[in-house]
Amino acid sequence: MTNFIFVLLPAVLAGIVQGVTGFGSAIVLMVFLPTILPIPQSAGVASLIMSVSNIMLAWRYRHSIKFKRIIWPFVVYASVAFMALQLVNSINVHLLKSMLGGLLVALSLYFLFVKSEGRKHYPIYIAIIFMIVSGFFNGLFGIGGPLTALYFLSLADTKEEYLASIQAFFLIDQLYITSIRFYNGILGLNDVPLILLGIVGGVIGTMIANRITVHMNISMIQKCVFVLIGISGVFYLVQ
């Protein structure tokens, strides 16, 4: 029952968010997974839960992928994520929870009040800062999507172009960062059952998202999700 509440149902919600916005699945999952797993392990599980959904979305928009936009940002992002991974076992757990709480609150406020300003081009130094911050929090919590999405959104002329670029980016990242997590012992074979259960939920959520984007206005759903994330962030800050 615990796995159903903290893994399967959040994975369905994560799949919906990912399918609609192109990212955000790890944010949703990291609200719930740290309840049953250590934060570093939660980050690894959250990343792999959405792997099949990422493949589904990348394949759907494959004709719009522009790899030249992905290479240099990924080099910066991956380098910082690798360094952050080395800090996972040396940072106090309570500090990690506070950082996660602060990040979730900031993300909630960002999506509720700032997101509408995302369609503009950024100078190269801003893009580099985006990748550094995203890589750092990806290494610690598996949450590297928001600023990465803002970067790709600023370059895209169509929704398909944006979704194609960011899903391809996340697929490369999953392969890279997951290999490091397994090598460092953060993830192991014992995590596979939870990951498989989450994948089922993620796929279901992605299929639901495909229907929502065609037939429904999803702005209210997004606002509800990010309000919940903000409340969860406050919970981690005061815990």
In the chain, where are the structural domains located? 2-238
The dihedral through the CA atoms of 49, 52, 56, 58 has a sign that is: positive
Question: Which residues, other chains included, contact 128 with Cβ-Cβ below 8 Å and sequence gap of 6+?
Answer: 76
pLDDT at 118: 47
Q: Give pLDDT tens digits for 163-218.
A: 888 889 988 988 888 888 888 888 888 889 999 999 999 999 989 988 877 665 54
Q: How far is CA 100 from the centre of its chain?
A: 13
Lowest mean pLDDT among 58-67, 140-149, 157-166: 140-149
| Identity of residue 36 | I
Other CB atoms within a 10 A radius of the CB of residue 31 amount to: 25
Q: Please count the CA atoms within 13 angstroms of the CA of 53 that sit on its side-chain side.
A: 36
DSSP state at residue 4 = I
